[in-house]
Amino acid sequence: MGHKKMPGLVKRYGSWHINKVVDGVRICESTGTSQLEEAEKYLVHRLESIRKASVYGIRPKRTFREAATKFLLEHQHKKSIRVDAWCLKTLDVYIGKLALESVHMGSLQGFIEARQKEGVKTKTINHGLQTVRQIMNLAAGVWMDEHGLTWLTSPPKIKLLSELDSRKPYPLNWEEQDRLFAVLADHLREMALFAVNTGCRDREICRLRWSWEVKVPIAEIGSVFIIPSERVKNGEDRLVVLNQVAREVIERQRGKNSEFVFIYKDKPITRMLNTGWKKARKRVNLSVRVHDLKHTFGRRLRAAGVSFEDRQDLLGHKSARITTHYSTAELLNLWEASNRVCDSRTRPSLTLLRSDASPSRAKVARGLLRVI
């Protein structure tokens, strides 16, 4: 006589699944195995966990892998979800099988040390630690099981590492800009000109659409772009004011493509920081990233005497103001402010004090900016 299967187990797509009502609550989940004996052991374990939780208020043991899976399923809307998933995949090797109660700074040391040996930047390691911290906080304060118990009693303290190896911003002076832009391919040069005159980010420029252009009843301005919040890092609609140079760039792109402003071979560009950009900066011996163009725009605005509030609006920084609702006077003020960094007669001249000399001299000089 064959072995009689325990009630509540159903085989689907080669694996055994639990489909059973316990204390009025239906349990539907995979056992993770195709072997009946292992599936039955798992079911017995689950039933015992449920009984302990129901009778004694004892939380079922859950692994970090279960919590990470729940987090990824519930946060598909998150802009950084792909990066989070990549970080959690790396973390799974070190803490995936651990019970949530066993995840803390001590159990994360293997992950931290291994990533440091691989030469990974501290900022990247911290992203992983931040994701773990978010998951543990959700497990302790938000996620409830069918018995009204949180997944975790209290969250551990996950401390981020000091980012001593983080790269400092590198705002370009005018001579450096001229050298770099001279060796960029035409399509990258246009995008770079737009970036250094609007403060837009790489992905904002690459995906800039004509449908986001908004005509304004001010002859001098003509139009602005409003990038929708889901395409902006801080989650707010982004007003893009076009100064004289940015307007000329836009007009040169008009008519090339019906959907995207910036294209290459009739297709949108994935990112500006590509092979072409890296080759160009190597030719002129400049270690400059695309994001440094945003820093350059911001430094030039400050040097030109543009107020902090106006710089926030022009750079698309998060603020308490409703940044896409402006009066005519306010729009004109922002347009005039942005033009103060592109007029060859009035543009501010910056000298960034950099030093490759002794450590003591470099420490004194690093980050100092003199406006001439």
Cα(4)–Cα(1) distance, integer angstroms = 9
Longest dimension (CA), the chain: 97
* 240 or 8, which is more confident: 240
How confident is the model over 60-86, as pLDDT tens digits?
A: 778 999 999 999 999 888 878 888 999
Give the predicted TM-score (pTM) of the model.
0.62
Do residues 158 and 132 touch, judged by C-beta distance below 8 A?
A: yes
Helices 122-141 & 109-117, crossing angle to 10 degrees? 160
Residue 26 is predicted with a pLDDT of 74
CA distances from 303 to 250, 294, 330 (A): 26, 14, 21
Looking only at the bridges linking them, the beta strands covering 25-30 and 15-22 are: antiparallel
Q: Could you count the other beta carbons within 10 Å of the beta carbon of residue 331?
A: 18
Answer yes or no: is pLDDT of 277 > 60: yes
224 by DSSP, 3-state: which?
A: strand
- Lowest mean pLDDT across 148-162, 259-273, 276-290: 148-162
Assess whether pLDDT exceeds 50 at residue 358: no
Across 155-168, average pLDDT? 84
Please tell me the predicted confidence (pLDDT) of residue 148: 73
Query: In this predicted model, what pLDDT tens digit does every residue of 209-263 receive, in sequence order?
Result: 999 999 988 888 989 999 998 888 777 889 999 999 999 999 999 999 999 999 9
> In the predicted model, what is the mean pLDDT of residues 182-192?
95
Average pLDDT of the chain is: 83
pLDDT above 50: residue 336: yes
pLDDT at 356 (0 to 100): 46
Q: Do the bridges between strand 15-22 and strand 238-240 make them parallel or antiparallel, or are there none, so unpaired? A: unpaired
Which position has the token pair 């993770």? 32
Burial class (CB in 10 A: 0-12, 13-18, 19+), 36: middle
Mean pLDDT on 348-365: 42
Q: Which residue has the higher pLDDT, 364 or 228?
A: 228
pLDDT at residue 165 above 70? no
Helices (H), the chain: 36-56, 64-74, 81-95, 109-117, 122-141, 174-183, 186-198, 202-206, 244-253, 275-283, 291-303, 308-315, 328-339, 359-365
Residue 308 CA, distance from chain mean position = 25
Kindly indicate the confidence band of residue 54, based on its pLDDT and cuts at 50, 70 and 90.
Answer: low
